[in-house]
Chains A and B, each alone.
Chain A
Amino acid sequence: MTHVSIKELTKVYPGAEAPALDRLSLEIPTGELTALLGPSGCGKTTTMKMIAGLLEPTSGDVMFDGRSVLRDKPENRGVVMVFQNYLLFPYMSVAENVGFGLKMRKIDPAEISRRVGEMLELVKLPHLGDRKPSALSGGQQQRVALARALIVQPNVLLLDEPLSNLDAHLRFEMRDLIRSLQQEMGITTIFVTHDQEEAVVLADRVALILDGQMKQYDRADVFYKRPVDEATARFFGGHNFIPGTSDGHSFECALGKLALPAGAVSGTGRLTFRPENVRIGSGQEQENLLTAQIADIIYLGTQTRLKLIVCDTEVEAVVNPNEIESYGVGDTLPVHLPRTTLWVI
């Protein structure tokens, strides 16, 4: 049970001009599951290694429950890091891998084997203790790596891209396993990923890091509904950014005057809405009803992406293929932008 505070954490590698991580500050409440999200090379793994004590920060501090841990050796921090490629020791059996941390603590072998058995049970691999890691599938290796980390009952668990090497169907299984173990044991957990879907699926809260700096730190859904800026919105698949002026209630722009949800800021800015929130209008809507001409139709199987021209402005929409079966390129149709799906940045 540890509250992790990261204060102005900075890392400049020798010889590098730009810092790999620039004054990152983050509070991770006890027992929460937080994602550090960002494109590769944005300093995520660097951050994790500094939390784990495997890398020395250039400046800044890492505190556990208010106490700086920078002087603690990695083996004494109570932090375990699980690497993206699992890194199971290839010359050890699965059971020896899982028991490694306990052996290093010179725990009685009988006790180790008992706890290894329990742990393998917990990650649902009870019969594989004698196998070599090379005989396991990727998903099984991942679970062994998780078991090996959890058996030492860390205060903080660090996961590097925990789902990225897994097939789609394994991802959800692993997600459920990680979430349930994490909640059961109440371990403060931080994982890094470059994949926004992975972050959203797994994390309580997401910290988006772009160019070595933190952009936004929020619950996952907020990134879709209320992004702080265009770069953040784009990282989460946002497409439509229309310049104009807001008075806090409505937005004046090329598309006309559109009603805004409560809490929108005033002043000049950009209106953003997600392509999947653009609706084909029934004509009955009271507000934010526009007429669009179809410039292009891209059929994607389960959805269809439309390029629309509204008042000489291009707008992207994603709709259910059935909804536009009767339309072709060049046709006009009514579109509706629901008030609650709009946001000004």
Chain B
Amino acid sequence: MATQESLGMRSFRVLTGAVLITWLILPLIPLAIWSFAKGWFYPDLLPRNWSMRAWEYAMSDTAGVLDSLWLTIWISLVATFLSILVGVPAGRALGMYKFRGKEIVELMILAPTIVPGIAVVLGIHSVFISMGLNNTVHGVILVHLIPTLPYMVLVMAGIFSNYDPAFEAQARSLGASPLKTFWYVTLPAIRPGIIVGGLFAFLVSWSQYILTLLIGGGRVETLPLLLFNFATSGRNDITGAIGMIYILPGIIILLLTAKHLSGRSGAVGGFGQI
């Protein structure tokens, strides 16, 4: 109902909007300030001395923060790539076909999005020990697939349910090989889904803590593990710097894909895991 609102109602909106904006950025402010602080002691509202020390430390080759950043990017990229590889066919099956037992398959794929990682990872850990996968990057990537794959499948199922396979039949009848048909017909049609699903998979992997901690056994030190360690050891300035580095990719990804995102897409559920 687009009736014009009273002035009071409009001021109320602006006011609550302002409260909301403040609340949303509030926790990030002390992190940002700490990263430039040189000691920030109670009861100072702002640091007395500023410094780039924390950033210099984070960016130095010896501190291991950059190594950790590259490692985290690598793990998330591979987990994303594998999720796409495996998730696209599964999404096609769920989006385009009706078959007996489909509800059960859907339920099985949905389950990891709701069951917390701690509930499954303890069991996996003992198996990975016997397979020699614990404390390895491979093991961590594999275990990251548990939370990332379901979102990929859900997004692709959504895409394929609106996809008309007649285009493929048309291409084949015009003489395209199956491979060419996939490359020139199927792929362009499902690309938006792959992008959105892939970005979600990346972010979900990027934010994993407990899975990495247990399977990596502390040897595979991704950015969140490093961040946690600095946060609990009281190095607030370095924690601030790493925290800033850690949230950057998510923001970049958001800026790149804002137009693809809407709350209606099944992928938004992925945000619940971040």
Measured in the bound complex, the distance between the Cα atoms of B3 and A74 in whole Å is 10
Contacts of A54 in B (CB 8 A): 1-3
- Minimal beta-carbon separation of A115 from chain B (angstroms): 27
Closest to A50 in B: B3
Q: How far is the CB of B57 from chain A (nearest CB, A)?
A: 51
A-B contact pairs, 12 of them (CB 8 A): A53-B3, A54-B1, A54-B2, A54-B3, A55-B1, A55-B2, A55-B3, A56-B2, A56-B3, A56-B4, A74-B1, A74-B3
| Chain A 69-89 interface 0/1 with B at a Cβ cutoff of 8 Å (1 = within) | 000001000000000000000
- Smallest CB-CB separation from B4: which chain A residue? A56
Residues in A neighbouring B2, C-beta threshold 8 A: 54-56
Beyond A53-B3, A56-B4, A74-B1, 9 additional contacts (C-beta under 8 Å) are A54-B1, A54-B2, A54-B3, A55-B1, A55-B2, A55-B3, A56-B2, A56-B3, A74-B3
Main secondary structure of the interface of A (DSSP, over half): loop
What bracket does the count of chain A residues touching chain B fall in?
under 10
Q: How near does chain B come to A168, taking the closest CB pair, in angstroms?
A: 31
**Could you tell me the distance in whole angstroms from the C-beta of A9 to the nearest C-beta in chain B?**
15
From B5, which residue of chain A is reached at the shortest CB distance?
Answer: A56
Interface of B with A (CB < 8 Å)? 1-4
- Determine the chain B residues whose CB is within 8 A of the CB of A55 once the complex forms: 1-3
A152 and B1 CA atoms in complex are apart in Å by: 21
Shortest C-beta distance, A60 to chain B (Å), equals 15
- C-alpha spacing A55/B3, complex, angstroms: 5
Across-interface contacts of A53 in B (CB, < 8 A): 3
Tell me the smallest distance from the CB of B42 to a CB of chain A, in Å: 51
Contacts of B1 in A (CB 8 A): 54-55, 74
Question: Which residues of A, 33-60, contact B by the 8 Å Cβ criterion?
Answer: 53-56
Expressed in whole angstroms, the Cα–Cα distance for A56 and B3 within the complex equals: 5
Separation in Å of the A62 CB from the closest CB of chain B?
13
Q: Min CB distance, B9 to chain A, in Å?
A: 13
> Complex Cα distance A243/B86, Å?
72
A54 to B1, CA, bound (A): 5
* A28, chain B: closest CB distance, angstroms: 22
What distance in Å separates the Cβ of B23 from its nearest Cβ neighbour in chain A? 29
In the bound complex, how far is the Cα of B4 from the Cα of A74, in angstroms?
Answer: 13
CA distance A74 to B2 in the complex (A): 12
Question: Which of chain A's residues has its CB closest to B2's CB?
Answer: A55
What 3 A-B pairs are tightest by C-beta distance, nearest first? A56-B3, A56-B4, A54-B1
Chain A residues with CB under 8 Å of B3's CB are 53-56, 74
Q: Which chain A residue lies CB-closest to B3? A: A56
Report the separation of the CA atoms of residues A88 and B122 in the bound assembly, to the nearest whole angstrom. Answer: 50
Nearest Cβ on chain A to B227's Cβ, whole angstroms: 45
Bound Cα distance from A56 to B2, whole angstroms:
7
CA distance A54 to B3 in the complex (A): 6
Q: How far is the CB of B206 from chain A (nearest CB, A)?
A: 39
Give the docked Cα–Cα distance between A53 and B1 (Å).
Answer: 9
What's the minimum C-beta distance from A15 to chain B, rounded to whole angstroms? Answer: 13
A259 smallest CB distance to B (angstroms): 54
A114 → chain B closest CB, angstroms: 31
